[in-house]
């Protein structure tokens, strides 16, 4: 089990650039997709970003994931759907699963409620520092013809925002990003996500 905030080594400028691209993914302008995939979570960014995407024409169908969260005693997907409907998104445009307990299960159980073989593009929503691992999970378990577009949001931890352009300036950011990189390596070896072609030299 890799800690969410493990101790970090010292990173060179080149290593910071590589970590940023692996963990946050490369920056690209979002484009309209066939469906919006919302990874489970309790951060308001999950539904706020989904609402933004829907009303900006980035997708007209939403797949919401997330099962029961014992810490907050609610079903993540049902909570997200509640906010989507309150924002004016018709229920007919939303499908959800409420059995998953992690990223891998988000994707696997989504396959039970939606036919991914009938579409070509997926806009996915998650925390920005989790985008790399979420993307690799989607690629590993959904049909190979699909194209994935990242539409993520920055999260705060104890008042510190962890974002693509500043994570390396704070201890929290460095630990969070390093932990994500270590998980990408570990889950890649297990086959849960698409493995890295090569690890960062010196790390």
Question: Model confidence over 18-41: pLDDT tens digits?
Answer: 999 999 999 889 999 999 999 999
Q: How far from chain centre, in Å, is Cα 75?
A: 18
pTM over 0.95: yes
The answer to whether residue 161 is domain-embedded is no
Does residue 66 lie in a domain region? yes
Terminal CA-CA length for the chain: 19
* Structural domains counted in the chain: 1
In a domain, 89, yes or no: yes
**61 lies in which domain range?**
27-152
Q: 14 in a domain, yes or no?
A: no
CATH number of the domain bearing residue 49: 3.40.50.620
In a domain, residue 69? The reply is yes
Residue 129 lies in a domain: yes
CB 84 within 8 A of CB 55: no
Instruction: Evaluate whether residue 48 is within a structural domain.
Output: yes
Neighbours of 185 (CB within 10 A): 18
* 197 found inside a domain: no
**Per-residue confidence of the chain (203 residues) as pLDDT tens digits?**
898 899 999 999 999 999 999 999 998 899 999 999 999 999 999 999 999 999 999 999 999 999 999 999 999 999 999 999 999 999 999 999 999 999 999 999 999 999 999 999 999 999 999 999 999 999 999 999 999 999 999 999 989 999 999 999 999 999 999 999 999 999 999 999 999 999 999 99
What pLDDT score does 27 carry? 87
């Amino acid at each position: 089990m890799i800690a969410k905030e493990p101790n970090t080594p010292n990173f060179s400028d080149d290593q910071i650039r590589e970590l940023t691209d692996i963990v946050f993914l490369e920056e690209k302008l979002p484009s309209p997709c066939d469906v919006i995939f919302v990874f489970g979570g309790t951060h308001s960014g999950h539904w706020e970003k989904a609402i933004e995407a829907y009303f900006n024409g980035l997708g007209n169908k939403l797949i919401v994931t997330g099962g029961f969260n014992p810490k907050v005693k609610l079903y993540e997907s049902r909570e997200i759907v509640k906010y989507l409907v309150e924002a004016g998104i018709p229920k007919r445009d939303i499908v959800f699963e409420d059995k998953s307990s992690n990223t891998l299960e988000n994707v696997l159980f989504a396959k039970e409620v939606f036919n991914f073989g009938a579409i070509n593009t997926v806009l996915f929503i998650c925390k920005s520092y989790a985008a790399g691992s979420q993307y690799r999970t989607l690629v590993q378990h959904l049909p190979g013809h699909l194209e994935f577009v990242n539409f993520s949001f920055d999260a705060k931890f104890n008042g510190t925002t962890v974002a693509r352009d500043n994570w390396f300036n704070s201890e929290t950011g460095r630990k969070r990003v390093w932990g994500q990189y270590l998980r990408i390596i570990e889950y890649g070896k297990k086959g849960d996500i698409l493995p890295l072609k090569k690890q960062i030299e010196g790390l």
